Amino acid sequence: MLTKADDYAIHQAPVPIAYATTDRNFYDRYFFNGYPQDAADVNGDGHFACAFGVYPGHNIMDAAFSVIVDGVQKNVHASKVMHMERMDTQVGPIRVEIVEPLQVLRVIVEDNEHGISANLTFTGRTQALEEPRFISRVGPRTVMDYTRLTQNGEWEGWIEVQGKRIEVTRPRYRGTRDRSWGIRPVGAADSQPVAPPPEPQFYWLWCPLNFDDRISLYHINSDRQGHAWNTNGVVCPVGGEPVEYGRCSSDVTFKPGTRHAAGATLTLNGEDGDTTITLEPHYTFYMQGLGYVGSDWGHGHYKGENALGYDEIVLADAPALSFEHLHIQAFSSATMTTPDGKVRKGQGVFEQLIIGAHDPSGFADMLDGAK
């Protein structure tokens, strides 16, 4: 059960706030993204995202803010030793504020030497939704055990990017934010992995979408054979109650020579018939820019008492099969068809991270691309 306290970075267990435990890899994270509804027509200009993580077992807090301008993803990174103070949710110039728990949050990036600043307010279009608890084990060891809430909404405010100002207005700007907490590998790699060493394999799709009168969520984790060990689908009307689809699936077509989707169809199987969602990806946002896979600013890593950094990714030049570019969010147009035959148009991101073999996709080893 979610409570207002679940929007604050004070958790001690991979469950809502009522429970507690300890683990070196415990983390507590905010994630945000925002995009103009017509982002496909402006080549992603103004698409932004932010990550903010708390790692009590490492005594570290870090954050990143990224924005796309003129085909370049510009990334500001920050890290600090938090001195056991978890409620001070500011790292360097990047700050997260809870204005109204489970409804309104603010992301602020103060002036800094890299010329990127922002003042952005997120307002939920629907209620925050609790995803099924994620638990993954390698042999006897639990390597992931966490809970996430996800919420779609609208943004307003502004971004300054090296002299260029971007006005962020409602309802043009939509997006998603999530909060997750629990156990994942964070910080330095484990000095003694479980024996025998497992074959690297991870298949992950996550797809929060915005339509004018509703939102949808879909995710799947599956093994090499394509068996889902965690999946769920949700449709929630604006101002209404969510409908969950425990039976759901995805059919993905990949760009040749890559592990990035060229298109996909999501199917949510309901009692009154199937809801289908077709996805058309337009451009790629690289999660590396927020400290995810392959980043020098990886989550929970010690960078010193206070550290600030900056890097750029030229979207057209990023090698799709390099390890650091596997984890992406593709901005996508979406078409939803409900059992009554009604068709709705929307947009959102289609997150993808596929490492190692996945038989249904035709991937046989660590980094081979689609045929």
For residue 125, which amino acid is it? R
Question: In 3D, which of 267, 283, 261 has the Cα closest to residue 336?
Answer: 267
Please tell me the distance from the alpha carbon of residue 274 to that of residue 276, in angstroms, as a whole number. Answer: 6
pLDDT digits (tens, 9 = 90+) for 322-346: 999 999 999 999 999 999 999 999 9
Asked if residue 316 has pLDDT above 80, the reply is: yes
Residue 205 binned pLDDT confidence (cut-offs 50, 70, 90):
very high
Q: What is the mean pLDDT of residues 341-367?
A: 98
Sequential DSSP letters for 239-273 = TS--EEESSEEEEEEEPBTSSSEEEEEEEEEETTE
Rounded CA separation 220/226 (Å): 10
The CA radius of gyration of the chain, in Å to the nearest whole number, is 19
Q: What does the pLDDT read at residue 3? A: 63
Query: Across residues 113-120, what is the average pLDDT?
Result: 99
Q: According to the model, what pLDDT value does residue 16 have?
A: 82
pLDDT level of residue 264 (50, 70, 90 thresholds):
very high
- Residue 15's pLDDT is what? 82
In this prediction, residues 1-16 reach a mean pLDDT of 79
pTM metric for this prediction: 0.94
Structure tokens at 367: 């980094």
Of 328, 246, 337, nearest in space to 290 by CA: 328
Banded pLDDT at 42 (limits 50, 70, 90): confident
Q: Is the dihedral of CA 108, 110, 114, 115 positive or negative?
A: positive
pLDDT-derived band at 86 (thresholds 50, 70, 90) equals confident
- Binned at pLDDT 50, 70 and 90, residue 21 comes out as low
Second-level CATH architecture of 13-187+199-361: Beta Barrel (2.40)
Burial class (CB in 10 A: 0-12, 13-18, 19+), 49: buried
C-alpha–C-alpha distance, residues 94 and 103, integer Å: 20
Residue 18 predicted with pLDDT over 60: no
Tell whether the model's pLDDT for residue 166 goes beyond 70. Answer: yes
Higher-confidence residue of 41 and 312: namely: 312
Three-state secondary structure call for residue 369:
coil
- Asked if residue 173 has pLDDT above 70, the reply is yes
Q: For the residues 72-83, what does the mean pLDDT come to?
A: 97
Residue 315 sits at φ, ψ, to 5 deg, of -60, -40
Q: What is the 3-state secondary structure (H, E, C) of 80-125?
A: EECCCCCCCCEECCEEEEEEECCCEEEEEECCCCCCEEEEEEEEEC
